[in-house]
């Protein structure tokens, strides 16, 4: 009887541990792994077992872990005391899943993980086990990031923002911003540049947000100000290698950097 009381309080109860099989996955790909369910000191009823991909997103002045995808694995099953059960899983990631690493190097500011949810009847044990997920960029995404680096822009950090971009077909309620420090050629004109990817099966839409320095804000006083300028283009997977992306990016940045009036 004492063991049943301990199990109901989370001591000596069933536990879970998830293992990701793939060393890295890409947006739109399949995340594969397995959950090891270990029975406690007494038999217990499993109400539900599942996994969720969560992303840490900025929502105003706070952050929240929002679900990207969830999969139900089991429910209404008995886990015997001391037994071990391995449950394989596959999670189909959305195409807009944020990138968290490039060539194995973690992107500063990104937090995407796999949460294991175990609901045991009558227990108050901690049901959560979270493991980081390395999400590598798609070839088109990697090519644009590489082009930014080749023309002298330096990676500063990345974040997820709970918002929607105007004029694009966005599926998730948040988007990723990968921020760069301008190259020496644009350091006097730009404060920073952010890149957002909206991937789809056949292509990737790239949104560039340039924070441009201006001498005077229209209607304002003297002093250093800035304004945001957006641009976007589509990278087709089939013709990825046929374009000189460094040249195209530099041409667009020169257009944005050019003065447009007495206030710019």
What digits encode the pLDDT tens for the residues 136-178?
A: 999 999 999 999 999 999 999 999 999 999 888 899 999 999 9
> In a 3-state reduction of DSSP, which class is residue 221?
coil
Task: Give pTM, 2 decimals.
Answer: 0.85
Q: Is the dihedral of CA 165, 170, 174, 176 positive or negative?
A: negative
Q: How far is residue 132 CA from its own chain's centroid?
A: 11
When the pLDDT of each residue in the chain is averaged and rounded to a whole number, the result is 87
Ordered structural domains, the chain, with CATH: 2-132 (2.60.40.640), 139-257 (no CATH)
The predicted structure's pLDDT at residue 194: 98
Distances (CA, A) of 72 to 38, 90, 138, 212: 18, 10, 27, 47
> In a 3-state reduction of DSSP, which class is residue 239?
helix
C-alpha to C-alpha distance for 259 and 249, rounded to whole angstroms: 18
What digits encode the pLDDT tens for the residues 197-211?
A: 999 999 999 999 999
What digits encode the pLDDT tens for the residues 62-82?
A: 999 999 999 999 877 888 888
């Amino acid at each position: 009887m004492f063991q049943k009381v301990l199990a109901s309080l989370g001591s000596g109860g069933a536990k879970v541990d998830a293992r990701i099989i793939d060393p890295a996955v890409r947006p739109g790909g399949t995340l594969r792994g397995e959950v090891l369910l270990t029975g406690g000191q007494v038999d217990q009823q499993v109400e539900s077992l599942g996994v969720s991909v969560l992303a840490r997103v900025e929502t105003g002045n706070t952050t929240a872990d929002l679900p990207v995808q969830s999969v139900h694995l089991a429910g209404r099953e008995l886990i015997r005391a001391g037994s071990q059960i391995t449950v394989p899983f596959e999670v189909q990631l959305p195409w807009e899943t944020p990138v968290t690493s490039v060539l194995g190097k973690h992107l500063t500011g990104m937090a995407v993980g796999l949460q294991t949810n175990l609901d045991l009847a009558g227990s108050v044990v901690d049901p959560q086990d979270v493991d980081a997920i390395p999400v590598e960029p798609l070839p088109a995404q990697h090519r644009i990031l590489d082009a930014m680096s080749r023309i002298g822009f330096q990676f500063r950090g990345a974040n997820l923002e709970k918002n929607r971009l105007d004029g694009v077909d966005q599926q998730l309620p948040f988007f990723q911003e990968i921020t760069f420090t301008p190259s020496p050629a644009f350091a006097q004109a730009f404060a920073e540049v952010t890149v957002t990817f909206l991937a789809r099966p056949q292509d990737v839409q790239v949104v560039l947000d340039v924070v441009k320095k201006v001498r005077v804000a229209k209607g304002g006083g003297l002093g250093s100000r800035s304004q945001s300028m957006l641009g976007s283009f589509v990278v087709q997977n089939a013709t990825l290698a046929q374009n000189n992306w460094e040249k195209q990016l530099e041409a667009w940045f020169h257009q944005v950097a050019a003065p447009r009036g007495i206030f710019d």
